[in-house]
Structures are given as structure tokens and as C-alpha cells.
């Protein structure tokens, strides 16, 4: 047995023999249910219940310990109290067991003591090269008829198919598995790894990625412990097959007006979604939609574009579907003249020849068929939405057979909203024909439309060229490093404005002309150099939102204005040694925001949106992970809700979008070069028709 070329995770997913350490004869125990499930599911390998007090369990010979077993063991379940686990893993190592699923709880999820136990068994596992799955987990399932390995204590017995599932949470994993089962979708592998102390989600995804039988992967997670590793694996696997994912714990990026805009606007953990986006994972925020989409992914090809043809035999549902299709970014183009001509000859006189094609309720198999054929042949159509109500006065089986025949050509994706009464035997047969013919059927038009929308969205993701990060040279990085190092040495949280603008300028980011001054004389001199009108701002680490406190005085037209503004601020703030920023006044621009926040273990996220003093209210911002490419910076500009404003509305001029996109990329380069930049804000960036200038900036540093 051991001379095979098994990889370490093969021992977990394709075990040829399994020991159940902690097997029990009690019906209602995990140590019993796992054996029952293995037997019930038709496991093809050897089962070794381990229990010192039993001769047999569920009619299978039991052993007092693993050393009494003669043959090799690929996999062990461990279902014993946590304190005994480290020694058991040591024993497993001695016996040559290659993979262990620890179902027992009581480890890192239980505080310090549990964590120590986890460390202890992990040390033993590493000593012997054992891969640990769990602890505190369900286990794995392999539906392959060669194995039928149901190493899990749940209750859904999936049929074999092409979807592999990995879920951190056993509860969510179980209901995804049940939903797939209810939707009659076949599954390949299932894995729910609990504490995931060794075999991680990226490990499992890589394994699924290399598995030819896995057509699509479903992932559920609540966060990523090693985001960089995850990204690397996800990038590799999404090139080969779709990953449909959902992350829980998302709420509105709700933000209080905190000291730093970007930190607050990032709100809850959005980094996982950004990772999904960057690596080409199809994200869902609804578990039902995810499972429904999986049905389409498991049988249908990916559409080449967004043009959908709709066939229906009843009006209203097609209208509902059309709304949702359009919502999902799909279009219903008009049919070609040639197509219409064929339809006129083949459809009933009452039929509507257009898109949607309404074959009317009396339309039967041949009418559906000609409509399907026409759409399949039409170069202007990428996918087909079928709405099919089982009109009792038609041969519904014939309709189903025709849909199946066309579906099996596999030329363009088809989804079907199938409206029927499943308690009638006649229609059960119709449903069976569709189902066995691999037609994804849904019971609501919106659900079906969303599933097609997901296929389209994935097609877009797959075709998308994410671009490359620009190399900006020459940049005087030594100069920036010196500024940041000095700030760190002084234990500064925020760099002074002078340093901030110097860093921006060094990175080629356009800033409004500026000087830092200490008194009115210097301020007047600076204003003359910069050129009137100017703005004066109070400059002190203690003042965060300057304008709230009277620390910003704009449109100063002459020296008298400057003197008055400075004296007023000196009086109002009473900070000794208060400095001032004298800056070029740049009126009439659109106020935008760019920012950066960091996520431990991952890196920086760059933000862009509508800026100014309303940013916290409008929250019209989007994020991307660094490095931000040229393509992504463009996507950011078009992803905000107010995107149209950037092009100019109602006779207004648009803004220099290239300039903004360039700033976003330079910001990305800057923070990538200097991880010590923890947060950064440019609010506002003043954007004009042909240029853009940063007029307010903050940089937070730290280690």
C-alpha cells in the first residue's frame, strides 16, 4: 500500500483504511456515527474501530489500540478527550498513520490551556510528518465510488458530481452540502476543518485545484488566517476553475467620523472581499444564491458575453426575469432578421417574435425547439434563459426533451425557470427529464436570472485583464525613508504636514504649492512666492479636522488677509509654536478622497471616493488591495456611486481621470515601498478638467 505515489492530502481525502480512535457503541456518539456513516455510505476501505473495552462495534472487529492492527492505516479519526490527544498523535506517528482528523474540541478555541494542548499534538505531528485536519471539526467526504469515504458525522449523503466544498464552519458546510443535495447537484469533495491548525483552507483549495474531477469549488470562510498564502493559491486555482465564495461577517462599511477617514471608512473587515476580487474568486453575499449558482456552474459553459436570449411561454415571469437579468449586467439584444424570419415560419401565429420570444402557453416541443435553435445559432446571443410553465394542455415532456437536446450540445449556457406542481406525477417526469439532461432548473424567475448573472460575472472575471503595477522611477526613496525613520524615532503617530507634502511630491503626486511658516512675515513672503490667492491652515499634530476648529482660512487675496487669518488662529488655538501651512488656493475643483489603511498580515488597501467634508456622510468610496494596477485604478474611478459626476453632469466639465488614476497608483507604490505607512489620507484632492492637486494630506506611521 505504501508504495503508491500518494501526496500527503491524498491520505486524508482518499484513505484506504481508517482507524476510529474513540469508537463507541453508543448510538448517540460521534465515535459511533462516523462508523455508521462510513458503512452506510459504502466506504470501500478498511475500518478499524479502536476501543480498549470492546471486541466489536457495529459488527466490525474493534482493537484495543492501533498497534494491534496488522495492516497500514492511512487516516485516523480522533474522538477522545483533548488532554489525551498529544500522546495519541505520538502513537499515530509510531504506527505510520499519515493523516489525522481530530474531531475532538477543547483546543485553541478554549483559551490558553487548550492552545498548549494544540501546540503539543502539533509538535508530535510534525515530528512524524502527520497532516492534522481540525481539531474541533467535522471532517471530509469523498464521493468517488472508488472510496466513498464519509469521514464526517453529518447526515447528508451527497451524490457524486463536480462541486467540491470547503467550509471553515461545519454548520455552514453542512447546510451548503444539504442545499446542493436538495438541488440535485453532485459533489466531489467536502471538507470542514474547524480550527484548521495544520491543513488550511489554501491547502484544501490547492488540492481541489489539482483534482481533475472538481469542476468548481465552493468556499465559505469567516476570515483568512494567512491572506498572502491564500492569495497565492487562489490566483493559481482560479486560472483553472471557478471558485464561488462567501465570507460572513460583512456589514455596511459603517464608519464613525474617526480621526482618520480611511480607517473608519474601511469599517469592518472588507479585506477578504478585496482578496476575492483581486484573485478572481466569484463572491456571493447570500448563501442561497451561491448554491443556486453552483447548479448552473456544475452543468453549464461560461457565456462569452452579456447578451441573453429569453424564451418563455408566459408573459409575467419573463418580465421579472428580464429585470433581474438587466440588473446583473446582461442585455436582451434584438434578434437578427434571419432569426425572426425562421421564427415566423416555425412559431404559432399568436407567438411574439422578438427577445423575449413568447412561444405562448400552447407552444409545444417543436416551438421551444425552433426558438432554442435560433438563439443557439444567433451570433448576437451568448446565453439562453428559458421560462417554462408546464401548461397542462401541452406535451411538457416533449418540451423538456427538446430543451435537454439543445442543452447537451453545450454550445451556450442555458438556465431554466421551471414552474410546475411537483406533486403531480406527470410533471415529476418532466422535471426528471430536465434534471437528468443537466438543465439547471429554478423555481423563481429571479433566482434563475441571478444564476445566469453569476455565470456571466464569472466569465467577466476570467476574461478580465487585471493589468500590472506601474514602476515609477526615478523616485528618491532614500529621502522618504529618512523622513519616515526620523518620525519613527521620535515616536510620531502622524507626520507633520511638511513631511507629508514632501513625501507626496517625491512620489510625483501633484500637490498645491505650499510652504510651512512660523510667523506672519514668513507667511506673507510665502504667499508672494506661491501667488495670491492663498489658503492658510493651522499646522499642529493636535489639530485633526482643521476646518471644524477654524484652522482653515481660504481665498486670502492679499497680505492683510493673510496677517488677519494667522492672528486669528494664533488667538483661537493658543498653541505655543503653532505653525502654519500657506497653500495655493485652488477653487472650483471637485473634491475627491484617496486613502490607505492596513490590515495585519495582508498589507495596504487603497481607497478612492468622493471627498471633502461630506465623506463620512456619503461613504461613496471603494477599496482595492495593493498593488493597484492601471486597470484597477480605472475600475476604482468607475466603481463609485457618483462615477458619472467625474464625467461632468448637466453641462459641467468632467475631471482629469487619468490624473486621479495616476495618483492612486503612485499612492499604491508609495505604501508598498514603505510598510511603515499605516494610514494615509488625501482629502480633498482638488480635481479639475485637466489637472488634479492634493490640498490636504495626512500620514500615520508605525511599526
Which residues sit at the interface with ligand ADP, rule CB under 6 A? Answer: 512, 535, 537, 545-547, 552, 554, 583-587, 591, 612-613, 683-684, 686, 695-696
Pick what 369 binds: ligand ADP, Mg ion, none; C-beta below 5 to 8 Å, kind-dependent: none
Task: Tell me the three cell numbers of residue 678.
Answer: 499605516
Q: Is 583 one of the binding residues for Mg ion (CB under 5 A)?
A: no
In DSSP notation, 589-643 reads: PEEEEEEEEEETTTEEEEEEEE-GGGHHHH--EEEEESSP-HHHHHHHHHHSTTH
Pick what 537 binds: ligand ADP, Mg ion, none; C-beta below 5 to 8 Å, kind-dependent: ligand ADP
Task: Tell me the three cell numbers of residue 424.
Answer: 403531480
Residues 6+ apart with CB under 8 A from 64: 50, 51, 52
Pick what 535 binds: ligand ADP, Mg ion, none; C-beta below 5 to 8 Å, kind-dependent: ligand ADP
Q: Smallest distance from the beta carbon of 550 to Mg ion, in angstroms?
A: 14
Q: Smallest distance from the beta carbon of 612 to Mg ion, in angstroms?
A: 8
Q: Tell me which stretch binds Mg ion (CB under 5 A): 30-38, 276-284, 469-477, 694-702.
A: 694-702
Q: Smallest distance from the beta carbon of 684 to Mg ion, in angstroms?
A: 6
Stretch (H or E) spanning 36: helix 30-40
Strands 534-539 and 46-50: unpaired
Q: Smallest distance from the beta carbon of 504 to ligand ADP, in angstroms?
A: 14
Nearest one of 64, 51, 130 to 94, comparing CA atoms: 130
Nearest one of 72, 65, 81 to 121, comparing CA atoms: 81
Pick what 583 binds: Mg ion, ligand ADP, none; C-beta below 5 to 8 Å, kind-dependent: ligand ADP
Nearest one of 81, 91, 77, 71 to 12, comparing CA atoms: 77
Alpha helices in 441-519 (DSSP H): 445-463, 477-489, 497-506
- Look up cell 522611477; give the residue: 473
Q: Give the chain's largest Cα–Cα span.
A: 100
Beta bridge partners of 358: 312, 352
In this complex, which beta carbon is closest to Mg ion, that of residue 505 or of residue 591? 591
In this complex, which beta carbon is closest to ligand ADP, that of residue 426 or of residue 528? 528
Pick what 586 binds: Mg ion, ligand ADP, none; C-beta below 5 to 8 Å, kind-dependent: ligand ADP
- Residue closest to Mg ion (Cβ): 696
* N-terminal to C-terminal alpha carbon distance within the chain: 52
Q: Smallest distance from the beta carbon of 546 to Mg ion, in angstroms?
A: 7
**Cα gap 446→362, rounded to integer Å:** 24
Q: What are phi and psi of 590, to 5 degrees?
A: -85, 135
Nearest one of 443, 362, 356 to 399, comparing CA atoms: 362
In this complex, which beta carbon is closest to Mg ion, that of residue 193 or of residue 262? 262
Pick what 554 binds: Mg ion, ligand ADP, none; C-beta below 5 to 8 Å, kind-dependent: ligand ADP
Task: Tell me the three cell numbers of residue 521.
Answer: 512675515
In this complex, which beta carbon is closest to Mg ion, that of residue 412 or of residue 546? 546
In this complex, which beta carbon is closest to ligand ADP, that of residue 518 or of residue 545? 545
**Cα gap 661→635, rounded to integer Å:** 9
In this complex, which beta carbon is closest to ligand ADP, that of residue 375 or of residue 569? 569
Q: Number of residues interacting with Mg ion: please give it, by CB under 5 A.
A: 2
Candidate list 175, 335, 696, 700; residue touching Mg ion; CB under 5 A: 696
In this complex, which beta carbon is closest to ligand ADP, that of residue 163 or of residue 523? 523
- Look up cell 506611521; give the residue: 701
In this complex, which beta carbon is closest to Mg ion, that of residue 144 or of residue 591? 591
Per-residue contact string for residues 655-684; x = within reach of Mg ion by CB under 5 A: ----------------------------x-
In this complex, which beta carbon is closest to Mg ion, that of residue 364 or of residue 595? 595
Q: Which residues bind Mg ion (CB under 5 A)?
A: 683, 696
Amino acid at each position: 500500500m505504501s508504495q503508491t505515489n500518494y501526496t500527503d492530502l491524498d491520505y486524508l481525502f482518499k484513505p484506504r483504511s481508517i482507524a476510529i480512535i474513540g469508537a463507541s457503541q453508543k448510538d448517540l456518539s460521534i465515535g459511533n456515527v462516523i462508523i455508521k456513516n462510513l458503512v452506510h455510505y459504502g466506504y470501500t476501505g478498511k475500518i478499524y474501530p479502536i476501543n480498549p473495552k470492546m471486541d466489536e462495534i457495529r459488527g466490525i472487529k474493534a482493537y484495543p489500540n492501533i498497534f494491534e492492527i496488522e495492516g497500514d492505516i492511512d487516516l485516523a479519526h480522533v474522538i477522545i478527550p483533548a488532554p489525551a490527544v498529544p500522546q495519541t498523535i505520538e502513537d499515530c506517528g509510531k504506527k505510520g498513520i499519515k493523516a489525522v482528523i481530530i474531531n475532538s474540541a477543547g483546543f485553541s478555541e478554549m483559551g490558553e490551556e487548550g492552545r498548549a494542548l494544540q501546540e503539543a499534538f502539533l509538535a508530535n505531528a510534525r515530528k512524524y510528518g502527520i497532516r492534522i485536519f481540525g481539531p474541533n471539526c467535522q471532517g471530509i467526504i469523498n464521493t468517488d465510488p472508488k472510496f466513498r469515504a464519509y469521514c464526517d458525522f453529518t447526515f447528508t449523503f451527497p451524490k457524486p458530481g463536480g462541486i467540491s466544498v470547503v467550509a471553515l464552519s461545519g454548520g455552514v458546510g453542512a447546510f451548503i452540502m444539504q442545499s446542493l443535495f436538495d438541488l440535485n447537484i453532485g459533489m466531489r469533495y467536502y471538507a470542514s476543518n474547524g480550527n484548521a491548525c495544520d491543513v488550511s483552507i489554501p491547502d484544501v483549495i490547492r488540492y481541489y485545484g489539482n483534482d481533475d474531477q472538481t469542476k468548481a469549488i465552493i468556499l465559505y470562510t469567516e476570515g483568512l488566517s494567512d491572506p498572502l498564502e491564500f492569495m497565492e493559491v487562489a490566483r493559481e486555482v482560479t486560472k483553472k476553475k471557478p471558485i464561488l465564495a462567501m465570507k460572513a461577517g460583512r456589514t455596511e462599511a459603517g464608519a464613525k467620523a474617526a480621526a482618520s477617514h480611511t480607517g473608519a471608512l474601511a469599517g469592518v473587515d472588507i479585506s477578504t472581499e478585496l482578496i476575492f476580487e483581486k484573485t478572481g474568486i466569484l463572491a456571493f453575499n447570500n448563501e442561497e444564491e451561491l448554491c443556486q449558482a453552483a447548479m448552473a456552474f456544475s452543468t453549464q459553459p461560461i457565456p462569452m458575453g452579456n447578451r441573453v436570449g429569453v424564451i418563455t411561454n408566459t408573459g409575467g415571469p419573463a418580465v421579472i426575469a428580464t429585470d433581474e437579468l438587466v440588473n446583473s449586467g446582461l442585455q436582451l439584444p434584438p434578434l437578427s432578421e434571419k432569426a425572426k424570419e425562421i421564427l415566423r415560419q416555425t412559431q404559432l401565429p399568436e407567438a411574439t417574435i422578438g427577445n423575449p420570444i413568447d412561444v405562448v402557453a400552447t407552444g409545444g416541443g417543436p416551438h421551444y425547439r425552433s426558438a432554442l435553435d435560433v438563439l443557439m445559432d444567433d451570433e448576437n446571443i451568448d446565453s439562453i434563459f428559458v421560462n417554462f410553465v408546464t401548461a397542462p394542455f401541452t406535451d411538457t415532456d416533449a418540451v423538456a426533451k427538446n430543451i435537454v437536446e439543445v442543452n447537451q450540445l453545450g454550445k451556450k449556457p442555458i438556465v431554466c425557470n421551471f414552474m410546475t406542481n411537483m406533486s403531480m406525477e406527470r410533471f415529476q417526469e418532466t422535471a426528471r427529464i430536465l434534471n437528468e439532461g443537466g438543465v439547471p432548473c429554478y423555481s423563481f424567475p429571479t433566482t434563475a436570472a441571478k444564476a445566469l448573472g453569476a455565470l456571466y460575472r464569472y466569465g467577466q472575471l476570467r476574461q478580465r485583464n487585471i493589468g500590472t503595477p506601474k514602476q515609477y522611477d526615478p523616485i528618491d526613496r532614500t529621502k522618504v525613508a529618512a523622513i519616515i525613520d526620523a518620525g519613527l524615532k521620535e515616536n510620531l503617530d502622524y507626520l507633520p504636514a511638511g513631511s507629508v507634502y514632501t513625501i507626496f511630491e517625491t512620489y510625483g503626486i501633484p500637490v498645491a504649492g505650499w510652504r510651512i511658516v512660523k510667523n506672519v512675515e514668513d507667511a506673507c513672503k510665502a504667499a508672494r512666492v506661491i501667488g495670491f490667492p492663498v489658503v492658510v491652515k493651522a499646522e499642529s499634530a493636535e489639530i485633526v479636522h482643521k476646518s471644524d476648529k477654524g484652522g482653515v482660512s481660504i481665498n486670502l487675496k492679499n497680505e492683510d488677509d493673510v496677517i488677519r487669518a494667522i492672528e486669528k488662529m494664533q488667538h483661537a488655538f493658543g498653541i505655543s509654536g503653532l505653525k502654519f501651512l500657506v497653500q495655493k488656493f485652488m477653487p472650483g475643483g471637485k473634491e475627491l478622497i484617496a486613502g490607505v489603511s492596513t490590515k495585519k498580515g495582508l498589507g495596504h488597501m487603497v481607497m478612492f471616493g468622493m471627498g471633502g467634508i461630506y465623506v463620512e456622510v456619503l461613504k461613496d468610496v471603494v477599496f482595492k488591495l495593493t498593488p493597484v494596477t492601471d486597470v484597477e485604478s480605472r475600475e476604482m474611478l468607475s466603481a463609485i456611486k457618483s462615477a458619472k459626476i467625474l464625467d461632468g453632469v448637466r453641462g459641467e466639465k468632467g475631471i482629469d481621470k487619468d490624473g486621479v488614476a495616476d495618483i492612486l497608483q503612485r499612492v499604491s507604490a508609495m505604501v508598498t515601498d514603505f510598510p511603515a505607512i499605516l494610514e494615509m489620507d488625501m482629502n480633498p484632492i482638488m480635481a479639475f478638467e485637466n489637472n488634479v492637486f492634493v490640498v490636504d494630506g495626512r500620514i500615520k506611521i508605525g511599526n
